[in-house]
Amino acid sequence: MITLLDKTKVYAGRLKDPERLIASSSGGAFTALSDVFLVKGYAVACAVYDYNQKKVIYKLLTSPEERNMARGSKYIQSLPGNIFAECKSWLDQNPDKELLFVGLGCQAEGFRKFAEMKGIRSRVYIVDLICHGSASPLIWSQYAQSLEDRYGGQIEFLTFRDKRKGWPTAAVVINGKRIPIKKYMKVYYNRCISRPSCHVCPFATTERQVDITIGDFWHLEEKIPDFYDANGTSVILLHTNHGYELFEEIMNSMDYRECNTSDCWQLNLEHPTPMFENRSAFWKDYKEHGANYIMKKYGTTTLREKIMYRIKKLEGGGYLIVSNSWILNDADFSERRAA
Ligand SMILES: Cc1cc2nc3c(=O)[nH]c(=O)nc-3n(C[C@H](O)[C@H](O)[C@H](O)COP(=O)(O)OP(=O)(O)OC[C@H]3O[C@@H](n4cnc5c(N)ncnc54)[C@H](O)[C@@H]3O)c2cc1C
């Protein structure tokens, strides 16, 4: 029987294997968790970027190669399609097997309820991600199309968080040329393109009903300095006995430390990302002028912001002020981490 733990257990963890750690957005918890299923011939349902459709779609994966394609945070709303039904029919066809579902809080909770209704809850392990907000797929697809038109080719590689030295944090590759997508990132982090429902998200909490929550361990260098690693660390929150058992299976592949919910505090574990103050002006601009215009208008970093960023960096602070009332934390953190 699956029961909630009396108290959420919290770990900082990262893959022992440095290559796989570099290939992951944070500490590689997803890789460690999915390995448990893939080595047994089980399946993993999660979101993958589709380069032809320019969309993030859910797929049922059964090999490490397919799983590797799913790595990386995509700051675009993912589309579950028929994945719930696919999971159910895969489990029906494989009665002795289990399945891992990884998704954003809203998607994972939906799957949890579906699994309970369909009587498959004990055969599925459900992991959700800490989430800043799900970005409009329309804006991304138009922006991606405009990059393809401008650089005369299809996007062949996309990363929102590249950890390799010398690479920008977020970039696409077209015809072998690396093109930073900083403007898109700024528009995303400035909350311009999040879905309206993200601003009232009920899953921005440490108390959830899925098995495990994973995310970036922010400010680890301050909270557990002797465990800091510039290549990223995951925060792993265990909510159920099912989650705890799964965590025990990944302990060998990860370095980890037990900690608590105040050590891993971040905004989206306490409340949803607030709505952008000029949201209606932003969308009016978009409807009138299109994706390129809004990228320029809302995605350009001003000289003032650049100076403030430098000052904060010199002070060793972790924040970059990107608008009058909002603090950019995650992007800044990953930039500093990659530096
Ligand atoms: C839109 C979004 C916002 C996020 N905001 C925060 C945040 O504010 N704070 C924080 O700590 N962490 C946030 N994360 C989570 C973080 O960026 C990492 O994805 C997470 O720590 C897992 O890293 P990893 O190294 O274990 O996984 P990786 O190996 O990098 O794998 C990434 C996993 O995320 C899934 N994924 C990627 N994009 C999407 C998507 N659009 N929809 C659904 N699933 C997706 C992949 O399918 C895969 O399972 C966010 C992730 C996304 C996708």
Both structure tokens of 336 = 């500093």
Atom in ligand 1 nearest the alpha carbon of residue 32: 26
**pLDDT exceeds 90 at position 326:** no
**Which tens digits make up the pLDDT trace of 14-62?**
999 999 999 999 999 999 999 999 999 999 999 999 999 999 999 999 9
More confident position, 302 or 205: 205
Residue 25 Cα to ligand 1 midpoint, Å, equals 7
Which of 331, 316, 264 is CA-nearest to residue 25? 331
The finding on whether 62 has its CB within 6 A of some atom of ligand 1 is: no
Could you please report the per-residue DSSP string of 64-102? HHHHHHH-S---S-EE-TTHHHHHHHHHHH-TT--EEEE
The finding on whether 136 has its CB within 6 A of some atom of ligand 1 is: no
**pLDDT exceeds 50 at position 327:** no
**pLDDT exceeds 90 at position 337:** no
**Band of pLDDT at residue 127, cut at 50, 70 and 90:** very high
d(CA 220, CA 265): 10
Residue 34 Cα to ligand 1 midpoint, Å, equals 14
d(CA 250, CA 212): 13
Helix (H, G, I), strand (E, B) or coil at 264: coil
Mean pLDDT, the chain, as a whole number? 91
The finding on whether 130 has its CB within 6 A of some atom of ligand 1 is: yes
**Band of pLDDT at residue 329, cut at 50, 70 and 90:** very low
Residue 73 Cα to ligand 1 midpoint, Å, equals 4
Which pLDDT value is given to residue 311?
A: 77
Which pLDDT value is given to residue 25?
A: 94
**Which tens digits make up the pLDDT trace of 186-211?**
999 999 999 999 999 999 999 999 99
Give the ranges where the chain is alpha helix by DSSP (H): 18-22, 29-38, 64-70, 83-93, 105-117, 137-151, 182-189, 220-223, 241-250, 279-289, 291-299, 303-315, 330-338
194 touches 135 (CB < 8 A): yes
Q: pTM for this one?
A: 0.92
CATH number of 4-134+198-269: 3.40.640
Which pLDDT value is given to residue 165?
A: 60
The finding on whether 216 has its CB within 6 A of some atom of ligand 1 is: yes
Q: How far is Cα of residue 261 from the mean position of the Cα atoms in its chain?
A: 19
Q: What is the mean pLDDT of residues 117-136?
A: 98
Which pLDDT value is given to residue 325?
A: 34
Q: Where are the domains of the chain?
A: 4-134+198-269, 137-193+272-338
Both structure tokens of 108 = 């994972």
Out of 10, 58, 73, mutate this one to test ligand 1's pocket (max ligand atoms within 8 Å of CB): namely: 73
**Band of pLDDT at residue 313, cut at 50, 70 and 90:** low
Which pLDDT value is given to residue 308?
A: 77
